[in-house]
């Protein structure tokens, strides 16, 4: 009797697990291409308007308080002038944002990306560098820095080397190269399973002067 109950309990709990797993892999609410179009439209609004269109409101907060369906994942720099929600003119619940100085990707960031794809339905990943990035500038000057800043300048060195000799301003070239390389790292390392074919990973650079995003052709 005890064994039967235990078996039944096991069967019941595995059904629950199966149901929960099925529920935790929602279909994309917005495809990668549609998400990119939304970001481009939002950035155009931001760059051409005096006042941002989307503002958090009590209604939007209530709408998103119990669940979230962000349509894009942004891996951006921690720089205070590059907040993705603002420069893409989006609201609460729209973007799943990860930020580190130099928009670098580590295991925590990869895990966050995998979570947002598998559990929240996001299908677009944007690696967003920006003009005059302090972390990239520091990496151009040296591969050493005090404390944990060293891990930042060290991980930007491959971009410093790859951008050497490219035409134009060395800092701008390295910023674009770093964003491109981080996007390539995500493509190579993120464990997205079957969802990988639906996911698009792109890089871009934000212009602090104009407010516009320059999208890489990748």
With b for 16 or more beta-carbon neighbours within 10 A and e for fewer, the 75-102 pattern comes to: bbbebeebebbebbbbbbbbbbbbbbbb
Q: Which of 142, 137, 139, 128 is nearest to 100 (CA)?
A: 128
Tell me the closest approach of the beta carbon of residue 134 to Zn ion, in angstroms: 6
Mark 57-96 with x for binding to Zn ion (rule: CB under 5 A) and - for no binding. --------------------x-x-----------------
Tell me the closest approach of the beta carbon of residue 96 to Zn ion, in angstroms: 19
Tell me the closest approach of the beta carbon of residue 5 to Zn ion, in angstroms: 59
Q: Which residue's CB is nearer to Zn ion, number 30 or number 152?
A: 152
Cβ atoms 160, 140 nearer than 8 A: yes
Q: Which residue's CB is nearer to Zn ion, number 36 or number 133?
A: 133
Q: Tell me: does residue 128 bind Zn ion (CB under 5 A).
A: no
CA 73 to chain centre: 4
Which residues contribute to the site for Zn ion (CB under 5 A)? 77, 79, 133
């Amino acid at each position: 009797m005890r064994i039967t109950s235990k078996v039944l309990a096991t069967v019941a709990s595995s059904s629950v697990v199966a149901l929960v797993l099925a529920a935790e892999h929602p279909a994309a609410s917005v495809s990668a291409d549609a998400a990119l179009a939304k970001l481009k439209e939002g950035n155009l609004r931001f760059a051409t308007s005096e006042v941002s269109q989307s503002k958090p409101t009590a209604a939007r907060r209530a709408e998103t308080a119990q669940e979230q369906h962000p349509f894009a994942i942004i891996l951006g720099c921690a720089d205070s002038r590059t907040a993705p929600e603002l420069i893409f003119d989006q609201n609460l619940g729209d973007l799943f944002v990860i930020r580190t100085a130099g928009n670098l990707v580590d295991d925590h960031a990869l895990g966050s990306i995998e979570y947002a794809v598998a559990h929240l339905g996001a299908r677009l990943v944007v690696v967003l560098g920006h003009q005059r990035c302090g972390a990239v500038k520091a990496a151009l000057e040296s591969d050493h820095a005090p404390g944990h800043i060293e891990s930042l300048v060290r991980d930007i060195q491959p971009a410093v080397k790859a951008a050497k000799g490219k035409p134009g301003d060395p800092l701008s070239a390295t910023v674009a190269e770093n964003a491109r390389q981080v996007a390539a790292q995500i493509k190579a390392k993120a464990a997205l399973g079957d969802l990988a074919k639906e996911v698009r990973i792109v890089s871009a650079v934000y212009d602090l002067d104009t407010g516009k995003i320059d999208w890489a052709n990748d």
